[in-house]
Structure 1
Amino acid sequence: MIYEETYQFLLHNVSSKEFDVCLYSLLNVDWDGIIQVSPIQTSERIGTKKKYMKEMIKRLASQKRQNVFIPNETNEGTKYRFNLGPTRNLGFNRKTDKYCKKYSFFYTKAFRQLPLNAKRLLLMAAFRMSTLKSEKIMFSYNEIVPNTKNQGNRFFTKSRLEDAIQAIKSSELNDIVSIELENNPYSYTEDPIDAIVFSFKNGTLNDFLENHTERDLLRKHIYQAGFPEYINDEVCKEIEGVGMSLYKSLLKIDKQKSNKQEVISGAKDELLKLARFIYNAAIKKLSLALHSKPELLAHPKQASAYFSTLICDEVTQEMKSFVHQKESIKSLLNNDFLHQGISSKAAGEEVGFIEVDKHIQPIREKYNKTAHISDILSIWYEKWVVSRYDSLVEDAKILQTSTSEEQVEKIKEKRDWTSVQSAFDSIRSLKARTYEQLDKLAGQVKSYGNKAIFLDGPSTFFDAEKQSLKDYFAFQMENLQKLTAASA
């Protein structure tokens, strides 16, 4: 999407070629806002020289251009993050935020050959078409050309508007849009022109390009991890859905915790990096699994469920790591004598509480961020287990109570169950796997051998997590057994 912030930037801050660079970059950004095409590929696509492309990127990365391109070092070299709009934090709200779709005509040679003001005019029209969802839209004249009250846009005058309209009419885009200058019959002014009407060709509203950058990355990572076969779109969509859910869930929990407590500096960026790391690690494991589970390629929903389990496994490993870090930092914070000694040695004399507190502050901030992320991962894990468990219980209830043979058979096929007993076995299996996983995590943290950690710290965390889920399982199982007794 071309969000309103990006729309305003394109109208007021770029040259004609920079306009094309930004539009093409928007078509090739991932969930983190990283542009996944090289400057050379971009220059070839928009029809400009490589040297000029480098100059444009340098300008777009400058403070004068609001640092729209942020250099980002990766294993594949320097890439750039597009620093406008909610792309990176996935915070877009379709109900309230305005946006323009990436219409196909933006990416044509005819559009690229237009002068800057003609591009601006078409972007304004396309943005309004997108927000109003109508292929015929109107601007009052002074929305575009400034009047004495300084309305409109400073880059347009009457003659510039006329030149822009003529440029569009003289181009191949004349087949896409017609522009008419009209007099408003309800106006009290004597101006010869009151309105500018854009009429787009039927179907233009839905003729837009979609960003498949994440899909390309998914196929690339699966291939690089050792699985050479093509992954079809349906499977890709399911995998992408699980990945997007991970991002959104972590950010939602972060927002909820921040609203109740305080915003932790740097936590959001850390979470986004962590989400990408978890997602990529799970993709590598999926690639290896596809060799022994080729049936996943033919059953997208099964692939989704399997990948979700891989995501969960990666989350638990990161949770273990952050719990260990949290306890290590906590033990350091609690060592008052150590901080007193370090602060006094640095000052060359005995220091008081204020100086020691200043010394501790960076450690405290690190602890707060680590504890915050640790709690978020714990909440996510618990929600994931509960969701899986609830889904199994719900299907088991349908198996017990439904009078529809078709519905029962559908559940059996979905779960690969043969009877109600199979359903109970699946529920017990999920519980056993959860307990085993939490016990294993507690054991691994204990075995790290960090003597600075209080021995009961990490294991207490996982014991509490296990007890919380055990209580929930017991409650749900009791209800299910009551239902079984009642239906017997």
Structure 2
Amino acid sequence: MIYKETYQFLLHNVSSREFDACLYSLLKIDWDGVIHATSQEVAEAIGTKKKYLKHIVKKYSKLLSRKVLVPFKDKYILNIGKHKNLGFKKRTDLYCKQYSFFYTPEFRSLPLNAKRLILMGAFEMSISGTEKLVIDYNNIVPSKRSEGNSFFTRGRLLNAIQAIQNSPFKRFVNVSMISTIHDRQELVWFSFENGTLDKFEKNHTERSLLRQKMLKAGFLELLSDEFCKDIQSVGMSIFNKLTKLEEENSKKRGLVCGVKEDLLEIARLVYDRSIKKMAVAMNKPEHKRFLTETKEASAYFSAIVRDEITQEMLKYQNQVDSYKDLLSSTEYLRGYQMEMQYDEEAGKALLVDSLETANQTVLDLEKNERIALILSDWDAEWVMARANTVVYEKNNEDENLEEAAPTKKRVWNSKEEAVKYLKSVKKSAYKQISKLITLISENGIPTETEGVLANRLKEFKDKRKETVANRLKVLEERRKEYKSYFDKLSEKITIA
């Protein structure tokens, strides 16, 4: 999609070839905004030379008011517009679909101002949902009464319209100047080809990456589009849910700098690791059915994701414990900072800088605490969501199952089947908590080799035992909450 920020960038900051290169790149970006296309591929797609494309990349990766292309490993991140995992809101965000005509030779042959005018019309078409529309002349050409667009004058607008009407691109849209009868107000009229609203290109970059990752992890069979869609939906839910939980926690507890960025990195890490585990699992004979039973495959994949999220939650909670232990020892903290910042020439420690180090430790603690909390919330919602899919409905012959229960609900024809499934969800939830309790019990107390805290092991041991006890208590309380929740659902199904 061409979001409002990208739309403004295309209107004001690019040449004709750069316009085409940016539009093509939008078809090749993943959920993180990384462009998965070589210079040669982009150059061939837009009809230019690889050398010229390298010039474009160099230009937009320099430090301007804002870097448009940010180096990422051997690729680049397109640093304009939104991506789905960065807070896209379908109801409020304005965007233009990537209409198929943007990627035709007829469009690429148009002069820059003609491309700008077409983009303005296409953006308005996406918003209004109609293929015939008008744009106020003063919203295109700046005047004393309106800002318009600085690149357009009356002459340039008329030349752009003429260029469109005299080109092969005319088969996609008719553009002309008209005026109203009552006040002679000038308007630019667009009439796009019938069916244009439904003719747009889709970005399948993540789908291609999924197939590549499964192949590299050892699964060599062909993956259907249906399988990829179901796995991708689970992957996208990680990004969306973590982003949503971060926003909710920011409203309740205040914004913590860096949390959102770290959560998105965790989401990508969890998704990629889960794909590798899924590939290994699908090589087992009992899991071959996942190729056709794609809903079962996505449920299995979701369980893998949950296990990976749990591991990340435990890792961040351990980091929180370490920061708390570090800050709890004022003597240790002061000595460590003074040693690091001692000035031999002056013969004294720079205590002012040590305060900055302490403050940074507090900030790191706050960030890790928030991330651990959000990951814990994600896990709790995962369990509740599985339990809430259980709905017992008697299947009457004249009853439509789609109307018997909300979308994505599991509709059971017998109470026994519904209760059995609910018990399996409950067992899975308890198993995960037991695993956490074991990990915390085994790793909660530091050993003699635990990094910078080894020298102060005796000081921290009692405090760490108390921390471990508190964390185990929280898990036990969560197990009780789950028991109460599952008992209520089971009772509801039994008496239905």
Query: With structure 2 as the length reference, what TM-score do the two structures score?
Result: 0.87
How far has the Cα of 1:462 moved from its partner?
Answer: 4.4
Q: Is the 8 A contact 1:2 1:100 kept in 2?
A: yes
Cα distance change, pair 416–298 in 1 and its aligned pair in 2 (3 A): farther
Cα distance change, pair 165–415 in 1 and its aligned pair in 2 (3 A): closer
Amino acid across the alignment from 1:441: L
**Match for 1:327 among 321, 332, 344?**
321
Where do 1:430-441 residues align within 5 Å? 430-441=425-436
Where do 1:193-232 residues align within 5 Å? 194-232=186-224
- Look up the SS of the partner of 2:159 in the other structure: helix
More moved, 432-441 vs 5-14:
432-441
Structure 1's unaligned 5+ residue stretches are none
Where do 1:127-142 residues align within 5 Å? 127-142=123-138
Q: Check if 1:159 corresponds to 2:169.
A: no
More moved, 20-29 vs 89-98:
89-98
Amino acid across the alignment from 2:149: N
1:33 paired residue number:
33
How far has the Cα of 1:421 moved from its partner?
Answer: 4.3
1:94 paired residue number:
90
Amino acid across the alignment from 2:319: Q
Q: Is the 8 A contact 2:142 2:148 kept in 1?
A: yes
Structure 2: how far apart are the matches of 1:416 and 1:475? 19
Structure 2: how far apart are the matches of 1:186 and 1:408? 55
Cα distance change, pair 183–471 in 1 and its aligned pair in 2 (3 A): closer
Structure 2: how far apart are the matches of 1:351 and 1:202? 73
Structure 1: how far apart are the matches of 2:425 and 2:166? 67
Cα distance change, pair 290–156 in 1 and its aligned pair in 2 (3 A): same
Q: Is the 8 A contact 2:389 2:410 kept in 1?
A: no
Cα distance change, pair 200–429 in 1 and its aligned pair in 2 (3 A): closer
2:304 paired residue number:
310
How far has the Cα of 1:143 moved from its partner?
Answer: 2.1
1:471 paired residue number:
481
Q: Is the 8 A contact 1:442 1:459 kept in 2?
A: no
String of CA shifts for 1:400-445, please: whole Å, max 9, x gaps. Answer: xx3637989999xx98989644544443333333223222223224
1:427 paired residue number:
422
1:253 paired residue number:
245
- Look up the SS of the partner of 2:92 in the other structure: coil
1:296 paired residue number:
290
Structure 2: how far apart are the matches of 1:421 and 1:106? 56
Structure 1: how far apart are the matches of 2:81 and 2:115? 20
Cα distance change, pair 459–245 in 1 and its aligned pair in 2 (3 A): farther
2:456 paired residue number:
none
**Match for 1:171 among 159, 167, 171?**
167
Q: CA RMSD in A?
A: 2.7
Structure 1: how far apart are the matches of 2:316 and 2:99? 44
How far has the Cα of 1:470 moved from its partner?
Answer: 2.3
Cα distance change, pair 148–433 in 1 and its aligned pair in 2 (3 A): closer
Structure 1: how far apart are the matches of 2:350 and 2:65? 47
Q: Is the 8 A contact 1:227 1:287 kept in 2?
A: yes
Q: Is the 8 A contact 2:139 2:146 kept in 1?
A: no
How far has the Cα of 1:145 moved from its partner?
Answer: 2.2
Structure 2: how far apart are the matches of 1:306 and 1:13? 46
String of CA shifts for 1:354-410, please: whole Å, max 9, x gaps. Answer: 765433111111111111111111010011112212324x34xx4xxx363798999
Instruction: Report the count of equivalent residues.
Output: 469
Structure 2's unaligned 5+ residue stretches are 448-452, 454-459
Amino acid across the alignment from 1:329: Y
String of CA shifts for 1:121-153, please: whole Å, max 9, x gaps. Answer: 110111111111111111222222233446322
How far has the Cα of 1:247 moved from its partner?
Answer: 0.7
Cα distance change, pair 146–218 in 1 and its aligned pair in 2 (3 A): same
Amino acid across the alignment from 1:360: A
Amino acid across the alignment from 1:113: S
Where do 1:52-201 residues align within 5 Å? 52-64=52-64, 66-73=66-73, 78-87=74-83, 89-149=85-145, 151-187=147-183, 194-201=186-193
Amino acid across the alignment from 2:18: E
Structure 1: how far apart are the matches of 2:474 and 2:25? 47
String of CA shifts for 1:136-187, please: whole Å, max 9, x gaps. Answer: 1112222222334463222112222222122212222111111122232121
Structure 2: how far apart are the matches of 1:110 and 1:479? 60
2:375 paired residue number:
377
1:368 paired residue number:
366
1:461 paired residue number:
471
String of CA shifts for 1:293-329, please: whole Å, max 9, x gaps. Answer: 1111112211121111111111111111111111112
Structure 1: how far apart are the matches of 2:173 and 2:492? 66
Amino acid across the alignment from 2:379: Y
Q: Is the 8 A contact 1:340 1:351 kept in 2?
A: no
Q: Is the 8 A contact 1:135 1:204 kept in 2?
A: yes
String of CA shifts for 1:326-360, please: whole Å, max 9, x gaps. Answer: 111211111111122234443555888x7654331
Amino acid across the alignment from 1:285: K
- Look up the SS of the partner of 1:202 in the other structure: coil
Structure 2: how far apart are the matches of 1:165 and 1:416? 57
Amino acid across the alignment from 2:46: I
**Match for 1:286 among 278, 281, 285?**
278
Structure 2: how far apart are the matches of 1:406 and 1:40? 60
Amino acid across the alignment from 1:213: T
How far has the Cα of 1:35 moved from its partner?
Answer: 0.9
Structure 2: how far apart are the matches of 1:91 and 1:374? 21
Structure 2: how far apart are the matches of 1:317 and 1:455? 21
Structure 2: how far apart are the matches of 1:160 and 1:483? 70
Q: Is the 8 A contact 1:141 1:196 kept in 2?
A: yes
Q: Is the 8 A contact 1:438 1:462 kept in 2?
A: no
Q: Is the 8 A contact 1:443 1:459 kept in 2?
A: no
Structure 1: how far apart are the matches of 2:492 and 2:221? 49
